[in-house]
Amino acid sequence: MKISRKVCIIMFILFFILLFKMPAFAGPYTDELSKCMIESTSENDRIEFVKWLFAAMSRHPAVRSMTSLTEEEINEYNEKMAKLIMKILTDSCREKAGKAIKYEGEIALRTSFNLFGQVAAQELFSNTEVTAILSEMEKYFDVEKLKSALGIEDTNAGAKENIDTYNNVAQAHLRNAAMAQEAYYVDNNTYCDSVEKLEGDKYDLHISEGVILQIISAGKDQYHMIAFHEKGSKKYHLIGPGGIVEEYRE
Determine the average pLDDT of the residues in 29-35.
89
For the chain, domain boundaries: 5-136, 174-247
- For residue 227, pLDDT over 90 is answered with yes
Please tell me which residue, 72 or 166, carries the higher pLDDT value. Answer: 72
DSSP line for the chain: -PPPHHHHHHHHHHHHHTTS---S---HHHHHHHHHHHHTS-HHHHHHHHHHHHHHHTTSTTTGGG----HHHHHHHHHHHHHHHHHIIIIITHHHHHHHHHHH-THHHHHHHHHHHHHHHHHHHTSHHHHHHHHGGGGG--HHHHHHHHT----THHHHHHHHHHHHHHHHHHHHHHHHHHHHHHHHSS--S-HHHHBBTTTTB-PPTTEEEEEEEE-SS-EEEEEEETTSS-EEEEEESS---EE---
pLDDT bin (cut points 50, 70, 90) of residue 152 is low
So what's the pLDDT on residue 144? 77
Per-residue pLDDT reduced to its tens digit, 53-80: 888 888 888 988 888 889 999 999 999 9
Query: What pTM value is reported for the model?
Result: 0.51
Q: Mean pLDDT throughout 198-221?
A: 90
How many Å apart are CA 87 and CA 227, to the nearest integer? 32
Average pLDDT, stretch 238-250?
A: 86
Q: DSSP for 222-248?
A: -EEEEEEETTSS-EEEEEESS---EE-
In the chain, pLDDT over 70 holds for what percent of residues? 85
Q: Which residues contact 222 (CB under 8 A, 6 or more apart)?
A: 191, 239, 240, 241
pLDDT computed for residue 160 by the predictor: 54
pLDDT value at residue 13: 45
Residue 127 has pLDDT above 80, yes or no: no
pLDDT at 224 over 90: yes
In the predicted structure, residue 182 carries a pLDDT above the cut 60: yes
Mean pLDDT of the chain: 82
- pLDDT for the residue numbered 3: 40
Chain centroid to Cα 125, Å, comes to 6
Q: Which residue has the higher pLDDT, 224 or 148?
A: 224
Residue type, 17: I
Rounded mean pLDDT of 190-203? 91
